[in-house]
Structures are given as C-alpha cells and as structure tokens.
Amino acid sequence: MEASAPAHPSPPAAAPRISQKTRSERRLAWMLCAPAVIAMLAVTAYPIGYAIVLSVQQVDLRFPEEGGFVGLDNYGAVLSSDLWWTDLFNTVMLTVVTVSIELVLGMAIALVMHRAIFGRGVVRTSVLIPYGIITVVAAFSWQFAFAPDSGFVNKLPFIAEDMDWFGDRVSAFAVIIMAEVWKTTPFMALLLLAGLVTIDSQLYEAAKVDGATAWQRFTRITLPLMKPAILVALLFRTLDAFRVFDTIYIMTAGAQDTESVSILGFNQLISRLNLGLGSAVSVLIFICVLAIAFVYVRGFGVRVEEGRPGR
Amino acid sequence: MERGTREYALWSIGIVLVLIFALIPVIWLISVSLKPPESITDGSFLPSEVSFENYESLFEGGIDESPFIKPLINSILIALSTTVISIVLASFTAYAIARLEFPGKRAILAGALAIAMFPPISTVGPLFDMWRSIGLYDTYLGLIIPYLTFSLPLAIYALVAFFREIPWELEQAAQVDGATPFQAFRKVIVPLAAPGMFTAAILVFIFAWNDFLFAISLTSSDASRTVPASLAFFTGESSFTEPTGSIAAAAVVVTVPIIVFVLFFQRRIVSGLTAGAVKG
C-alpha cells in the first residue's frame, strides 16, 4: 500500500449545504454497499441475536413439546459442567501452543523468503501448498500417517512400532497441533513477509557498518519495526485457532479429552439437537472471541483498521 | 569465499526442510491412494506396487451409487456460485469504499473485519433452526448464504486494496466525456480491475471449497453435502474394512487441481492474501 494518508479527507460533518453531487455520490455509495452489508449482517448479527434468544429458553428438538423461558439456567448448566472447562482449557492451550510455534516458524520462513540468496520462488511455492489444501483432507493425511496400522510414522527409527498416537491425550494433541501448524503457518509467514518488505534495507547496512551482529540486527531493527505486522498476524491467527474444529473432528472427534469448545457447541446443537444449551455454548464462545479481540486491541494496541481478514 | 559457501549450504538446508515439511502430507496421500487395498496397512511411505483400484471404486456405480460423484458436483457448484455472487457484491462495496466519499465507510470496513473474526460455530445453531423452518436446510442456497457472509470480508479487503491502485484519472476522463458514474465503473474500471477480481475470486473459492463446519451442520444427505463433509461419512467396502483407500483417493481428486491452480497463480494469491496487511 502507498504510504500516503487517506486520499480523500472527509468534508466537515457540519457543512451547511451538501451539494447535489455529494448527495448523489453518497446515495450511489450506499446503494453499492447495501447488498454486501445485508448479506454480512443476515448471517451474523441476526443469528447471534437469535442464539441469545435460544440460549435463555429450553429448546430441545427431541422434546419439542417442552420449552419456555428458563432465564440463565442454560448458562448455569454449561458453566458448572466440567466438560466446558476441560474444553475451554484444551482450546486455549491449543491456541497458545499452535500460534506460538507458528510465529517462530512463520518468521523463519518469512526471513528465508525475504533474504534468501536463491530459492525464494521454491519456498513461496511450497508454503502455498498447505494453504490450498482442504483442512479436512490434511487432517486425514496426518491421521493416516500416524495410524498404528497403516501409518509410516511408527516405522520411523526411534518410534515404538505399536505407538497408539490417538489413544492418549498428550500424543493426540501433539498430532493435532502438528496438523494445525502445518496448515496455517503459510498464512502467518505471508503476513509477516508483508511486514518485512516494508523495512528500509539501509537500516541494516548502517547497523552492519556499526558492527551489529545478525542477531542484534534482528532483535533491534526487525522485531521492533515489525511489531504492528506481528500483532495483526497474531490477532487473526489467535481468533482463527480459537475456533479449531475440522482437525479435531476428523482426528479424534473429541475422544481422549481432546474436545474444543467448537466441538462441544456442535455436539450440543447438531448431534443432540439441544438448541438451548448449544446456543448458550455458542454465545459463550462469541464472548470469548470478543474478549480476545478486546485484549489485543486495548492491551497490545493493535490497530485493527490496518489488519485484514482471511485465514 | 569460505563464508559464502557456508551461507549457501545453510540456506539450502533451510529450503529443503521447508520443502519436505510442505510436501510430506501431499505425497503421503497420493501414495496411500495408489496402494492396492491389500497392502494399504503395510505402513511403507511409498507404495510397493501401484494400483488405481481406490480411484475406480470411488467412481463405481455412477452418480447414483458412488459416494463421491454427487458431493464433488455439489462442492463445485456451491463454491462457484459463492465465488460469483461474493465477487459481484464485494466489487460494488470495494468500489464505493476506494472511490466514493460517504459517511459510514469506516463502519463498513470495521464491520467486515469484525465478521472475519466472528466464530462460525455461534451461527450454526440459529441457522440450523432457521433453515429447517424456511426450507433451506440441506439445499445449495443454505450453504451458499453463510459462505457468502464469511467470504465477503476477505473479498472486500482484497478488492479495496486492488482498487486503490487503479489509475482513477481514466474514470474521471470518462465522466468528462459524458459517462455516468455507473458507466464509468462498468466500462473503464471493471476491465482494469479484472486481475484483482480474479485474485479475490481464487481466495473466495478456496474458502468455500475448504469449509467443513457449515457443510456437516446444514446438510443431511448427498442432495447438498460437499466433499469435505462427505469424506467424514465414507464407509469401507464392508463394516470391517476402513475406508482409508477411498478417502485418500477422494482427497487427491479434490486436492491436486487446487494445488496446481494455486501454484500457477501464486503471485496473485500472495498479493491477495496480504492485501492491506501493512500500510507503510
């Protein structure tokens, strides 16, 4: 993006008279934006409102005759269940671990793409492969690789031949984390690379002349100047990691206490058809996401307007 | 130069590691899909003998019996429809944001960003209930609508970034020559914006192609179930055989074309994915 400030400063709000041209421009703009805005609100604002309504009622599609307003009972049931807290712990742990590994790996790959003396194209090409693969497909591939009967991993040296990766919580999480890291590191690397290319290379030359080592140049120049790009990448990846669903559903379906909050919500809503309880879970997840975004924006000062959506 | 050789060697190792890491799951899937059913559990990384049996059984019985053909058609049609609608709506919005002055511009960008962060699971329950009562459950439209919602932010941000790079003097020239703002948009800007729109279309398509949560929540049959969801319901030839081979073959069929496409358009995708990530 160009470095200039917004190209069109807004006219003062209290302008006494709006010209005919301004008015027609505004009308055109609103007409152009309306369809997309409606499409975006129709499946977010309205359903979240509806979820809140459902969450204070007893709605179980298996027992349609029962029902009615139950106040905060559903929330009480969720918040007093061990399952919710186990799943929340799992989700937070997965988020923190995967995003941390991704940050380090993504930074390494971004540096390779930025400063490689050769092979830049090869690296960029190969990091786009995980991006292009369906998450479910990648999860199956890793699951087959680690499966005790058909996988190649247990045939590798130093690994027990009968290791049951998905039979134990810790090893199951290790495989899930690996699959998630594989799938989403490229996005992190590309976001970091976009921040890296904006750093003036003269700074490095000057630091070299002053005798700074490569590590000093990285910690004193690269990291501070990339802080905004790093925080934006972290914000998006954190929120994306927090909704982890596909990989866990395919690999363990939540067995061995590997459930995430999204799996819990799905089980209540779709498998058990308990819309009241499930909606309470949904609303709680929504509140968690709001809290994470709030911490990043207020706590770390991420300037969200400069961020971008995507995964 | 001694240092040069060492640096060269280090970079080579780094690049090879990245390459191996990125490629292993893909090569492994292709390898599993090519193993004949009796050797699928041999655990070797590469097949000892190559067989296309898994692919044949995938397409066996035509559209009525195959567990894969109908979901593949569903996936393609749903992802393409989402892409077309999303890009049309997002171009209108991105044009207004990049080009016109109006109150509410920042609110729309902030709202799009908020939706990009929105947890999809929070909408699944209400959509499930609403779609069942208005007849959208297990239909194409029932999936296209949520895909549209969650892909629009992606498309709007990518397109705003591209549209800001367009030489707008041309549009003014067209307006001076008597074109209306809409004509100026359609005749001058659309051709200039086509490459950016194509990039945004790739991103939206991959998003819709990848979705799993809505696909298993809002469908119940092959009437509208997409490939990622159908893979989770694959069964073996008998209840004692694992469907590993057919899943691998199906996975290769839906993966390889996308990878080829992604690699072919990699420059565009990188610029689209990072659009607006940094403002210098």
Half-sphere exposure of A6 (CA within 13 A, CB side): 13
d(CA A150, CA A132): 25
How many folded domains does chain A comprise? 2
Is B113 within 8 Å of A307 when comparing Cβ atoms?
yes
Q: What is the pLDDT of residues A172-216, one digit of tens each?
A: 999 999 999 999 998 888 888 888 888 888 888 888 888 888 888
**DSSP 8-state code for residue A9:** P
Q: Is residue A128 part of a domain?
A: yes
d(CA A230, CA A300): 11
Please name the member of A13, A233, A285 whose beta carbon is closest to the beta carbon of B122: A285
Q: List CB contacts (< 8 A) between B251 and chain A.
A: 134, 137, 140-141
pLDDT at A216: 87
Q: Is residue A72 part of a domain?
A: no
Among chain A residues, CA nearest to B158? A308
How many angstroms away from the CA of A221 is the closest CA of chain B? 16
Among chain A residues, CA nearest to B209? A134
How many angstroms away from the CA of B60 is the closest CA of chain A? 21
Per residue, what are the HEC states of B167-206?
A: CCHHHHHHHHCCCCHHHHHHHHHHHHHHHHHHHHHHHHHH
Q: What is the CATH number of the domain that holds A289?
A: 1.10.3720.10
Q: What is the C-alpha radius of gyration for chain A, rounded to an integer number of angstroms?
A: 24
pLDDT at B144: 93
Domain residues for the domain of A49 are 23-55
Q: List CB contacts (< 8 A) between A40 and chain B.
A: 111-112, 115, 149, 152-153
pLDDT at B1: 42
pLDDT at A257: 85
Instruction: Write down the domain spans for chain B.
Output: 2-51, 62-273
Of A151-165, A198-212, A266-280, least confident by mean pLDDT is A151-165
How many angstroms away from the CA of A101 is the closest CA of chain B? 14
Residues A163 and A289 grouped into a single domain: yes
Please name the member of A25, A187, A261 whose beta carbon is closest to the beta carbon of B102: A25
Contact map slice: B 243-272 vs A, CB within 8 A: 244, 247-248, 251, 254-255, 258-259, 261-263, 266, 269-270
Give Cα A44 to chain centroid, integer Å.
17
d(CA A195, CA A192): 5
Q: What is the pLDDT of residues A85-138, one digit of tens each?
A: 999 999 999 999 999 999 999 998 888 888 766 777 778 888 888 888 999 999
Q: List CB contacts (< 8 A) between B254 and chain A.
A: 134, 137
Residues 6+ positions from B183 with CB-CB distance below 8 Å: B174
Among chain B residues, CA nearest to A252? B232
pLDDT at B85: 94
Is B29 within 8 Å of A144 when comparing Cβ atoms?
yes
Residues 6+ positions from B263 with CB-CB distance below 8 Å: A125, A128, A129, A132
Give Cα B232 to chain centroid, integer Å.
19
A59 near A67, Cβ under 8 Å? yes
pLDDT at B276: 53
Contact map slice: B 179-208 vs A, CB within 8 A: 181-182, 203, 206-207
DSSP string covering A207-269: HHHTT--HHHHIIIIIHHHHHHHHHHHHHHHHHHHHT--HHHHHHTTTGGGT--HHHHHHIII
Residues A51 and A135 grouped into a single domain: no
Where residue A17 falls (left for φ over 0; alpha for ψ -120 to 50; beta otherwise) is beta
Q: Kind and range of the H or E element at A194?
A: helix A169-196
d(CA B119, CA A238): 12
* Best to test chain A binding among B35, B124, B189 (most A CBs inside 10 Å): B124
φ, ψ of residue B47 to 5 degrees: the values are -70, 140
Residues A87 and A173 grouped into a single domain: yes
pLDDT at B47: 83
Is A310 within 8 Å of B156 when comparing Cβ atoms?
no
φ, ψ of residue A198 to 5 degrees: the values are -85, -10
Residues A41 and A138 grouped into a single domain: no
Length of chain A: 311
Q: List CB contacts (< 8 A) between A88 and chain B.
A: none
B33 near B249, Cβ under 8 Å? yes
Residues A32 and A118 grouped into a single domain: no
pLDDT at B44: 80
Please name the member of B7, B44, B125 whose beta carbon is closest to the beta carbon of A282: B125
Residues A32 and A152 grouped into a single domain: no
Please name the member of B25, B44, B111 whose beta carbon is closest to the beta carbon of A142: B25
Residues A46 and A165 grouped into a single domain: no
User: How many other C-beta atoms lie within 10 A of the C-beta of residue B239?
Assistant: 6
pLDDT at A87: 92
When the pLDDT of each residue in chain A is averaged and rounded to a whole number, the result is 83
Looking at the domain that runs over B62-273, which CATH code has it been given? 1.10.3720.10
Is B101 within 8 Å of A22 when comparing Cβ atoms?
yes
Is A40 within 8 Å of B254 when comparing Cβ atoms?
no
How many angstroms away from the CA of A265 is the closest CA of chain B? 7
In chain A, the percentage of residues whose pLDDT exceeds 90 is 22
Residues A45 and A105 grouped into a single domain: no
Residues 6+ positions from A246 with CB-CB distance below 8 Å: A135, A136, A139, B212, B213, B228
Domain end call among A55, A71, A100: A55
Longest CA–CA separation in chain A, Å: 80
d(CA B156, CA B97): 9
Residues A44 and A94 grouped into a single domain: no
Please name the member of B19, B212, B244 whose beta carbon is closest to the beta carbon of A122: B19
Among chain B residues, CA nearest to A110? B18
Q: Is residue A75 part of a domain?
A: no
Name the pLDDT band for A1 (thresholds 50, 70, 90). Answer: very low
Residues A96 and A217 grouped into a single domain: yes
Per-residue pLDDT of chain B (280 residues; tens, 9 = 90+): 445 677 778 778 878 888 888 889 999 999 988 888 777 777 788 888 888 888 888 888 777 778 888 899 999 999 999 999 999 999 889 888 888 888 888 888 888 888 888 888 888 888 988 898 899 999 999 999 999 988 998 888 888 888 888 887 887 888 888 888 888 878 887 788 788 888 889 889 989 999 999 999 999 888 899 999 988 888 665 555 678 888 888 999 998 888 888 888 887 777 777 765 543 2
pLDDT at A177: 94
Name residue, tokens 């049959």. Answer: B221
Is B113 within 8 Å of A305 when comparing Cβ atoms?
yes
How many angstroms away from the CA of B78 is the closest CA of chain A? 15
Residues A38 and A145 grouped into a single domain: no
Where residue B175 falls (left for φ over 0; alpha for ψ -120 to 50; beta otherwise) is alpha
Is A308 within 8 Å of B157 when comparing Cβ atoms?
yes
Please name the member of B111, B146, B269 whose beta carbon is closest to the beta carbon of A43: B146
Please name the member of B7, B122, B244 whose beta carbon is closest to the beta carbon of A51: B122
Is B43 within 8 Å of A8 when comparing Cβ atoms?
no
